[in-house]
Chain A
Amino acid sequence: MSGKAGGLRTPLTRVRFLGSSLKGTSEAWTIHVTGLANVVLGLYFVWLILDLLHMDYNGVRATLGRPIPAILLLAFILSGIVHMEIGMRSIIVDYVDGHPRAWALIANTCFAAILALACVYATLRISFT
């Protein structure tokens, strides 16, 4: 635990807020659950794309606009992007230090959020227009 008096941490690391953020377990759990979901949803996604290959534009729209493909696609987008945001965060904290790390983490979160919103928006637009 962080900052407990008489613990193994030095006063300096406590002052600098170094050490565990106490969020590791929840993050590890999330990347495992989304990873498991991505196996199932990813296989469905590959099957869906194979199904779309022989279709023209109107066929693709009609297929993606049906409820089950749309819902599973939305699930894949959300589960996949949450998974990749956490995965990229672990890459960044492994290889980037200092201020560049902070900017890389911010860029990662913003990229994932914009990408998720764009994909969800487009999927819903295909269904509802």
Chain B
Amino acid sequence: MASTELARGRPRPRPLSPHLLIYKFTITMVMSIMHRITGFGLYVGVLLLAWFLIAASTDAVAFSWFTAFIDSIIGRLVLFGFTWALFNHMLGGIRHFLWDAGYALDAPAREQLTWATTIAALVLTVVTWAIGYAVR
């Protein structure tokens, strides 16, 4: 069959692997995607750290612009998102270290571990902000 198609000069379409979205979503899959997205978010978020440090190194006026942004609703939402992305990516990284070391690779364990790190990241984010509002 292939030889007749080759003889006609028209190659048979190559087989394609099924696309990502054909599969059922699992927590390990979703959090793997979230790990990349939060990593991307932190990459952009480091601009905020640079702004903070440059403003602090400049003078009180430059620093007041930074604190005015961070104190605004948008600034707080961005910082809250940054906090969650940091903890989610941090705990996701620890999850990958555990898998690399050979732990929690079985079907129930890997799902439980992924749920645990996901929930722990949310809890750490909320606790950090609670401490932040308490000490402020």
Residues on A facing B (Cβ under 8 Å)? 32, 35-36, 38-39, 42-43, 46, 50, 53-54, 57, 60-61, 64, 77, 80-81, 84, 87-88, 91, 115, 118-119, 121-123, 125-126, 129
Identify A84's interface contact among B43, B56, B135, CB under 8 A: B43
A54 to chain B, nearest CB (A): 6
CA distance A31 to B72 in the complex (A): 35
Does residue B131 face the partner (Cβ distance < 8 Å to A)? yes
CA distance A123 to B47 in the complex (A): 14
Interface size on B, residues (CB 8 A): 28
Give the dominant DSSP class at A's interface: helix
Q: Given that A57-B64, A80-B46, A115-B46 are known contacts, is A122 also in contact with B135, CB under 8 Å in the complex? A: no
CA distance A116 to B122 in the complex (A): 29
Binding stretch for chain A, among B8-16, B21-29, B90-98? B90-98
On whether the beta carbons of B132 and A122 are closer than 8 Å, the reply is no
CA distance A118 to B57 in the complex (A): 11
Identify B136's interface contact among A46, A53, A60, CB under 8 A: A53
Does residue B86 face the partner (Cβ distance < 8 Å to A)? yes
Identify B50's interface contact among A61, A119, A125, CB under 8 A: A119
Give the dominant DSSP class at B's interface: helix
A-side contacts of B83, CB under 8 Å: 46
Q: Given that A42-B86, A80-B46 are known contacts, is A60 also in contact with B53, CB under 8 Å in the complex? A: no
Does residue B42 face the partner (Cβ distance < 8 Å to A)? yes
Does residue B39 face the partner (Cβ distance < 8 Å to A)? yes
Q: Given that A122-B53, A123-B57 are known contacts, is A84 also in contact with B39, CB under 8 Å in the complex? A: yes
Contacts of B12-56 to chain A: CB distance below 8 A: 36, 39-40, 42-43, 46-47, 49-50, 53-54, 56
On whether the beta carbons of B128 and A46 are closer than 8 Å, the reply is yes
Does residue B68 face the partner (Cβ distance < 8 Å to A)? no
B125 to chain A, nearest CB (A): 10
Cβ contacts A to B, 27 pairs, < 8 Å: A32-B97, A35-B97, A39-B94, A42-B90, A46-B83, A46-B128, A50-B128, A53-B132, A54-B135, A57-B60, A57-B64, A60-B56, A61-B56, A64-B56, A77-B49, A80-B46, A81-B46, A88-B40, A118-B50, A119-B49, A121-B57, A122-B50, A122-B56, A123-B53, A123-B57, A126-B53, A126-B56
A-side contacts of B135, CB under 8 Å: 50, 53-54
On whether the beta carbons of B131 and A35 are closer than 8 Å, the reply is no
On whether the beta carbons of A118 and B136 are closer than 8 Å, the reply is no
